[in-house]
Amino acid sequence: MGLYPEIEPYDHGMLDVGDGNRVHWEVCGNPDGKPALMLHGGPGSGCGPWFRRYCDPAKYRIVLLDQRGSGRSTPHASAHGTDMSVNTTAHVIGDLELLRRHLGIERWLVWGVSWGSVLGLRYAQTRPGVVSELVLTGLATGSNPEVALLTRGLGKIFPEAFERFLAELPEDERAGNLAAAYNRLLESPDAEVRARAARAWTDWETAIEPAPPRSVRRYEDAEFRAGFARTVTHYFGNDHFLGEGNDEGVVLRDAPLLKGIPGTLVQGSLDFGNLLGVVWRLHQAWPDSELTIVDDVGHTMGAAGVVDALVAATDKYAVR
């Protein structure tokens, strides 16, 4: 099956969402098609052109945006003076609503990967009636145990990389919340401290893949690396801004609010996020969801089996 062919947007712009932020958006496909919103991961990854290719352009009006501080949105999180206090889950959900109204859309399918699945789920839970379906992959729910697994728990599986990851932190910061500790380095007034911390963070992100690549191209871009690491640790170190109860999992707790929304969950069997059983627990708590497990695949949206399952899901929902 594979991805749909490459296409270019027919419309794009910068939306003023307040707090000094302007969010880049684009629309491609069929102007009269079913609206679909594509949510990137990270937080802070930005939305690349391949996101345009998971929906049939003849049937969908495909909307992409770079969330606050990422991609082509301004100000970028890599700039030390950027105010991160106005970059939270609630702020970004508010941006989605501003964009929806700006484009004159009543309801849209929401597609999300990794952090984008957290955002998509919370958006559907807190803005009833505007999400027609959810298509999610590399699933996460943003709970504190998930963050603890990704920043400390996997140290038992990757001990050498974990030792290097800890070594960048002051000794008195190595026993607590590692994401918060890294975020303090990434907010340092010293540019060299920030640069070392960003490199150490992305080295750890690279190391915890089931079959780690030697390098990840986007992490070799200093601006991307700085903005990404700063944004991820900002969210990871602050309970994903999901509020009280995130030690148990706010998104999982509120799964009953998804009743009536059809959803497709596509998960690699080797995604280390599976170690906490989150995807299965969400599927069980959300009867309107379907779960597809793709064997021998990690935390990726680009593997052949994952792509096929995601495209099959959007094809199915195109006729609803």
Task: State the catalytic residues.
Answer: 114, 271, 299
Contact 96, 130 (CB under 8 A): no
Give dist(CA 119, CA 43) in Å, integer: 9
Q: Which residues contact 232 (CB under 8 A, 6 or more apart)?
A: 42, 43, 44, 179, 201
Beta strands in the chain (DSSP E): 11-18, 21-29, 34-39, 60-65, 108-113, 131-137, 263-268, 289-294
Which H or E element spans position 181? helix 178-186
Q: Which tokens is 114 given? A: 């990794």
Q: Which tokens is 275 given? A: 């170690």
At position 301, the amino acid (one-letter code) is: M
Buried-state track 21-49, b at ≥16 Cβ within 10 A, e below 16: bebbbbbbbbeebbbbbbbbbbbbbbbee
Report which of 75, 73, 118 is spatially closest to residue 93, judged by C-alpha positions.
118
Q: How many CB atoms lie within 10 A of CB 207?
A: 17
Q: Under DSSP, is residue 228 helix (H, G, I), strand (E, B) or coil?
A: helix
Q: β-pairing, 34-39 with 108-113?
A: parallel
